[in-house]
């Protein structure tokens, strides 16, 4: 019944759940509209510390969660899209950005929730059966409205709790055990997976007069920051070492900051009393100042910290033959070592690169058909192997040319080197654009139509078949086989045009899955056409120079005159 302890407890739980759900709704809406753009743009803009800090702050402000930014960043680091040092700086900015969001929510904005709820419902209902961004904007408005409603309930419950003698005794007892207070708020934040929710709840209690102990208030803020570092570490613990480095580094930064502030608590606790504004705003301002202090101290230490984390979380040692060259000298062996059959050794190493690209295509197809992106880290490691082998082939080919070879062998070495660069480009396309599609579609609730899956399966299988034939061309070096590969390259181009046309037909017929997956389907077709051109380019080098390939674009790609 109203006024009872059980009722107040249920109000706390309900308001907390509504707040967390509102944050989740707003974050989901933003990710479904801008998630793909964030993934593409984020790795490109982290070239300066100030840019990385502002990017992290902006991302956390938009997503209303530094935890979401941390998990998102660790995923990009796992595939090598973000260096550790940039990721550490980005997360420092993200923590400050989430603190700013909390400060904005402490302002008197609660009266806006009816307008936001109505506008959000209207947009979401009108565009519910479409892919319009207005549908997601409606979701964002609904989420923010839920947050404001939850804060209204929290304010009411906090006033009742502040009047309770029992609650006052419990809170005052924490003032004598500040270390326990830090641990308690850290655990609460960990369980809630939201520093904003716990911080705002604590701010509402302080605003209601539950305590005026500045030491306890600061200890609670320290615990909230410490607990906020735990969820990303737990969520990425079973992932690759590259994914764990950034979140663990951010956790160590926070742990160091919390330890330093707790050790000097008697010196800095008076800071709360001199800050301006209402008590709730001062609580959030302490949170902002703590994260700004972390930025000031650790931004300059990010690079040595990154080196330490790379040693602490080193990738498992691989056998030399697994990722490095087998048939030609590796980088550590130095140049000048030439085999008795150097062109054969070079060809066998190129075949290893081609085989790796083929495996990457097979695994990518499996992910697209299943809608599960669990193989993405393994494909990223294969891309690393392609890069290592490409550098080894390039160094070995240069050594061969310096040793002096006859013209036919020189032309073949040059062609193999050019072909290796083409395969390296193909691997980049697979790793940087294709493998992210399954997870992106899964997060956005999209999927390929059955007809679309059949077409993708047919195109991928034909492309993989071309990699088999390209391997035969590399080893046999026969014009007849090369001619077949070139013809299959043209056939694949026609297949892609037909597939695009059929996909557009499905769109005109209003097939819902086709509408949802349209962008991904067409992007995949374009990527496969590009990869097929790279894979089949060796055929043009093997064909006699006097034979017309019939494909000026491919001729230009490999450097032949039309």
Please tell me the predicted confidence (pLDDT) of residue 51. 67
Domains of the chain in start order, with CATH, are 5-312 (no CATH), 325-558 (1.20.58.220)
Please tell me the predicted confidence (pLDDT) of residue 373. 79
Please tell me the predicted confidence (pLDDT) of residue 158. 63
**Residues 6 or more apart in contact with residue 200 via CB below 8 angstroms:** 19, 102, 105, 106, 151, 154, 284
171-201 in b/e form (b: 16+ CB < 10 A) is beebbeebeebbebbbebbbebbbbbbbbbb
Exposure of 234 by Cβ count < 10 A (0-12 exposed, 13-18 middle, 19+ buried)?
Answer: exposed
**Residues 6 or more apart in contact with residue 199 via CB below 8 angstroms:** 102, 221, 224, 283, 284, 287
One digit per residue, the tens of pLDDT, for the chain of length 562 reads 455 556 666 776 777 777 767 767 776 776 666 655 555 555 555 556 676 677 667 666 655 566 666 766 766 665 455 778 888 888 888 888 877 777 776 666 666 778 888 888 888 888 877 767 788 888 888 887 887 787 677 666 666 666 666 667 777 777 778 899 899 989 988 877 777 778 887 888 888 788 888 888 899 999 999 988 888 888 777 766 777 888 899 899 999 999 999 888 888 878 888 888 888 888 888 888 998 999 999 988 888 998 898 888 876 554 444 567 877 765 434 444 444 467 878 888 899 999 999 999 999 988 888 888 788 888 988 888 898 888 888 888 888 777 666 677 888 888 999 999 999 999 998 988 888 888 888 777 777 877 778 888 889 989 999 998 999 899 888 888 899 999 999 999 998 888 888 877 776 766 555 555 667 878 889 899 999 999 999 999 998 764 444 444 444 444 443 3
Please tell me the predicted confidence (pLDDT) of residue 350. 92
Query: Which tokens sit at 260?
Result: 């330093």
Please tell me the predicted confidence (pLDDT) of residue 550. 44
| Whether this model's pTM surpasses 0.75 | no
d(CA 368, CA 464): 15
pLDDT digits (tens, 9 = 90+) for 144-195: 788 778 767 766 666 666 666 666 777 777 777 889 989 998 998 887 777 7
Quick count: other Cβ atoms within 10 Å of Cβ 468?
Answer: 12
d(CA 153, CA 533): 61
DSSP calls for 13-65: HHHHHHHHHHHHHHHHHHHHHHHHHHHHHHHHHTTSHHHHHHHHHHHHHHHT-
- The 3-state secondary structure of 137-180 reads HHHHHHHHHHHHHHHHHHHHHHHHHHCCHHHHHHHHHHCCCHHH
d(CA 283, CA 496): 59
Question: Do 338 and 400 form a contact (C-beta atoms < 8 A)?
Answer: yes
d(CA 231, CA 457): 38
Please tell me the predicted confidence (pLDDT) of residue 333. 42
Residues above pLDDT 70, as percent of the chain: 74
Please tell me the predicted confidence (pLDDT) of residue 183. 92
d(CA 562, CA 544): 14
Please tell me the predicted confidence (pLDDT) of residue 223. 92
pLDDT digits (tens, 9 = 90+) for 318-335: 444 456 787 776 543 444
Q: What Cα–Cα distance (Å) separates residue 547 from each residue in 98, 239, 455, 560?
A: 63, 51, 33, 12
d(CA 154, CA 311): 45
Please tell me the predicted confidence (pLDDT) of residue 215. 87
d(CA 141, CA 124): 9
- Helix, strand, or coil here: 478? coil
């Amino acid at each position: 019944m109203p006024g009872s302890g059980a009722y107040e407890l249920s109000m706390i739980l309900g308001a907390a759940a509504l707040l967390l759900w509102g944050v989740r709704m707003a974050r989901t809406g933003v990710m479904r509209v801008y998630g793909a753009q964030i993934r593409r743009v984020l790795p490109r803009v982290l070239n300066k510390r100030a840019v990385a800090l502002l990017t992290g702050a902006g991302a956390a402000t938009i997503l209303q969660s530094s935890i979401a930014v941390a998990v998102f960043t660790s995923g990009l680091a796992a595939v090598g899209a973000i260096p550790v040092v940039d990721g550490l700086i980005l997360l420092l900015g993200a923590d400050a950005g989430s603190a700013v969001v909390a400060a904005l929510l402490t302002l008197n904005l609660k009266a806006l929730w009816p307008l936001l709820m109505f506008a959000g419902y209207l947009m979401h209902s009108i565009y519910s059966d479409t892919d319009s961004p207005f549908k997601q904007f409606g979701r964002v408005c609904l989420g923010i409205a839920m947050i404001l409603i939850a804060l209204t309930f929290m304010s009411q419950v906090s006033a009742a709790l502040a009047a309770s003698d029992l609650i006052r005794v419990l809170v005052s007892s924490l003032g004598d055990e500040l270390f326990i207070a830090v641990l308690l708020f850290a655990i609460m934040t960990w369980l809630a997976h939201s520093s904003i929710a716990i911080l705002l709840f604590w701010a509402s209690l302080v605003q209601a007069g539950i305590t005026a102990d500045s030491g306890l208030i600061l200890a609670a803020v320290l615990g909230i920051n410490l607990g906020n570092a735990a969820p990303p570490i737990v969520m990425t613990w079973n992932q690759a070492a590259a994914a764990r480095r950034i979140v663990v580094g951010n956790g160590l930064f926070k742990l160091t900051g919390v330890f330093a502030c707790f050790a000097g608590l008697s010196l800095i606790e008076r800071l709360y009393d001199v800050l301006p504004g209402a008590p709730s705003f001062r609580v959030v301002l302490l949170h902002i100042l703590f994260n700004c202090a972390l930025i000031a101290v650790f931004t300059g230490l990010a690079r040595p910290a990154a080196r330490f984390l790379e040693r602490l979380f080193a990738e498992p040692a691989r056998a030399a033959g697994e990722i490095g060259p087998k048939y030609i000298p590796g980088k550590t062996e130095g140049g000048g070592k030439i085999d008795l059959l150097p062109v054969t050794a070079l060809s066998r190493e190129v075949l290893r690169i081609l085989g790796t690209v083929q495996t990457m295509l097979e695994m990518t197809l499996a992910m697209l058909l299943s809608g599960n992106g669990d193989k993405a880290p393994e494909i990223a490691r294969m891309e690393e192997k392609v890069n290592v082998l490409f550098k080894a082939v390039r160094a070995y080919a240069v050594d061969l040319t310096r040793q002096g070879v006859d013209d036919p062998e020189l032309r073949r070495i040059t062609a193999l080197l050019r072909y290796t660069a083409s395969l390296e480009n193909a691997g980049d396309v697979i790793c940087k654009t294709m493998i992210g599609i399954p997870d992106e579609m899964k997060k956005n609730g999209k999927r390929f139509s059955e007809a679309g899956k059949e077409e993708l399966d047919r195109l991928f299988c034909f492309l993989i078949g071309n990699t088999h034939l390209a391997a035969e061309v590399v080893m046999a070096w026969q014009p007849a086989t090369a001619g077949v590969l070139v013809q299959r390259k043209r056939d694949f181009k026609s297949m892609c045009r037909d597939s695009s046309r059929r996909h557009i037909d499905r769109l005109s017929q209003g097939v819902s899955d086709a509408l949802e997956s349209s962008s991904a389907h067409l992007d995949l077709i374009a990527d496969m056409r590009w990869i097929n051109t790279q894979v089949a380019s060796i055929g043009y080098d093997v064909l006699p120079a006097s034979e017309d390939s019939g494909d000026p674009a491919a001729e230009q790609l490999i450097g032949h005159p039309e």
